Structure 1
């Protein structure tokens, strides 16, 4: 009985002793040190603003077209006997170059016939003039009174003079028709399309092809009423407003300088926009010494138009200005101030503010949930200054400990 008691009591004794020891250790352990948790102010990003004078730009877009486009046609008929090598789609030509030559044989014959008719008419006129002189002398030898016009053959003389003028007119027409068999380029340009070829017979009025002038290109640019508020149309119509045209050519950005030549003066009834026309000189770089990128007709370009000037303007990204027209300003005390501002203009990226902000003031560029006036914030440079101060204090304490 005693052995069984010993065997059951020893484990219980061991457990009791362990519990006592654990209780003593727990009671003798020092409580954890309590540290006050410092709540930091909300961290924000802010940037100082600056007032500036600027020129507003108005953006638009359009397609490059030639200022002069012509459909070539014949004034006389005939067979095509020669076509210039430059008279082909994309071919370049200069003013006065022969593009198409028609057969001239019949017109040369007509010219010779007109010359002969003029010579006959002049001979008949000289003959009639001589007859008039003879008739006048005969009248004077017989009578002393003035001779009648019929007696002096003046009506016959007027008739022959009219025949001469008619013959001269026929000769001039024959010369013009002969010249018209040679179709020349009316200006420097390029061929858009070609509709005739060697051996083809054409009649008067037949179309030979389409050509474009390369001296000047035009771009029609649509502008809304909102855009027009930043343009001076008097300068537009006087060719004094500069335009920058941009696009990508062969995978690279390209730009050209143009000028607004005029406004079309009538609002488009469907789109409710006013078209202005920008012009570019020598788009195909055909003048001597011309450099840059060729501006092909038919290319779509973006246009940036220089508009009115603004003074003391603060430019801020659109996301910085809140929907209620306020911005969050960080004061010197690192507090938020909800500031009302006056926006003069807005575009896809920026708001242009003319009042409500002064140069040097800090405007937050980061999102703040539920901001309010007096809200305490901190800036990244504040943390940097605090860390620097802490490091200096630590170094000082270490130096004092080392001296001891």
Structure 2
């Protein structure tokens, strides 16, 4: 009885012991998985070879449109205003030689009559003196055979009368000019900015009657920073037609005009430290043009792009490649980073123009590289291994296979 009980109790124990032994044997006999070294790939960068390019720079500026001539029109004689042209109002247009203001002329016509009378008297006196000289000469020759003296021939008196005639002629010419000056005429084609007189008003000699602007030519005074003057060739730029593009918004619409660079003022402004260039635009009010450029009024603020034709061979790169310390990352033949200090000629919002520090064909890194250093190993997109080609006869492992009919 005891043996039977022992036998029933020992069987599970034996089974457990056998299972433990088998588990230990299996664990001991299991081979460890193979270990492969972890491959650390070099940083992937995008790099392109660069070369110098002939670049023509455009220098930006701005300024106000001003007339070529601004005149405070004055009276050359005094008198009462008796007539004013209909065009002599603020904003009125006039032509060269047009009578703008007429002054009372009665007194000046009287001056002409007096001058004519004085001239007639002087001429009569001269004729009389010439006759007396001839009489004196005849009398001298009848008495003496020698050369008569000048006083005896009344030559000094003749010279005096000749001078009187010239003086009378000058007074007559002045009187006629003064009469002409009672009509105040426009000195050029232009527009009236302001009028300072009215009918019945007395104006004195030199009094201002109004302010005029010439409309034949408009000028734009363009400030240019000293750093930008290096890109403007004044020898080629000045005198060339249409090398300045003007832009402005007029009545809510963007408009453009073609102007020409005509001169440099030649002085560096002491306050702003800029130089001033002057561009000209003919006929800004389109008075003599048919279907040409849009009207450009004086006082309009315009933006200007100056193209001078001066070319430089530079490296043109994206603005993002230039680092804060004025260096650029390049990749050498061993695919190593090289940090190159460069000379920047100019930059704008999207591009940087490199004058020196790079070589033609050198590969410049175009992508961002965190914490670069000289000798840093990198890889390029072309260095990536190509995936193995798939045999067309080999079935796609992902393809579903139908089982059964």
Question: What TM bracket, shorter-length normalisation?
Answer: 0.7 to 0.9
Q: 1:348: which partner in 2? A: 348
What pairs up with 1:359-374 in 2 under 5 angstroms? 363-364=365-366, 367-371=368-372, 373-374=376-377
The equivalent residue for 1:69 is: 70
Q: What does the per-residue CA deviation read over 1:242-289, in whole Å, with 9 as the maximum and x for residues that have no partner?
A: 222222222222222222222222221122222222222222222243
In structure 2, what is the equivalent of residue 397 of structure 1? 396
Contact preservation (8 Å) 2:242, 2:258: no
Deviations 1:161-196 (A, max 9, x none): 111111000001001101111111111111121111
Matches within 5 A, 1:160-309: 160-236=161-237, 242-289=243-290, 291-307=292-308, 308-309=310-311
CA distance in 2, matches of 1:395, 1:88: 95
Give the aligned partner of residue 14 of structure 2. Answer: none
Cα 1:242/1:141, change in 2 over 3 Å = same
Find the aligned partners of 1:290 and 1:337 in 2 and give their Cα distance.
59
Segments of structure 2 that go 5 or more residues without pairing to the other structure are: 1-35
**Aligned counterparts of 1:392 and 1:130: Cα–Cα separation in 2:** 136
In angstroms, what is the RMSD of aligned CA positions?
Answer: 3.7
Correspondence 1:318 to 2:319: yes
Q: For residue 113 of structure 1, give the secondary structure of its aligned residue in structure 2.
A: helix
Alignment correspondent of 2:124: 123
Q: Answer yes or no: is the 8 Å Cα contact 1:239–1:262 preserved in 2.
A: no
1:395 shift after superposition: 10
Pairwise mapping of residues 9-24 of structure 1 onto structure 2 (< 5 A)?
none
Aligned residues of 1:192 and 1:209 also touching (Cα < 8 A) = yes
Contact 1:42 1:378 in 2 (8 A): no
Give the count of matched residue pairs: 361
Q: Aligned with 2:273: secondary structure?
A: coil
Unaligned runs of 5+ in 1: 1-35
Cα distance change of structure 1 residues 183 and 324 upon mapping to structure 2, 3 Å threshold: same
Structure 1 position 378, deviation (Å): 6.0
The aligned residue for residue 30 of structure 1 is none
CA distance in 1, matches of 2:51, 2:318: 13
Provide the C-alpha distance between the structure 1 equivalents of 2:75 and 2:390, rounded to a whole number of angstroms.
93
What is the CA-CA distance between 1:309 and the residue it aligns to?
A: 0.6
On the 8 A contact 2:240/2:261 being kept in 1, the answer is: yes
Displacement of 1:370 in angstroms is 3.7
Please give the per-residue CA displacement for 1:58-78, whole angstroms capped at 9, x wherever unaligned. Answer: 222222211211110011001
* 2:108 counterpart of 1:103: no
Secondary structure at the residue paired with 2:299?
A: coil
Shift of 1:237: 5.3
Alpha carbons 1:241, 1:305 under 8 Å: kept = no
Point out the structure with the larger helix share: 1
Pair 1:325–1:157, CA change in 2 (3 A) = closer
Shift of the 336–71 alpha-carbon distance from structure 1 to 2, 3 Å rule, reads: farther
How far off is 1:363 after superposition?
Answer: 4.5
Counterparts in 2 of 1:274 and 1:400: CA distance versus 1, 3 Å: closer
Name the TM-score, length of structure 2 as normaliser: 0.76
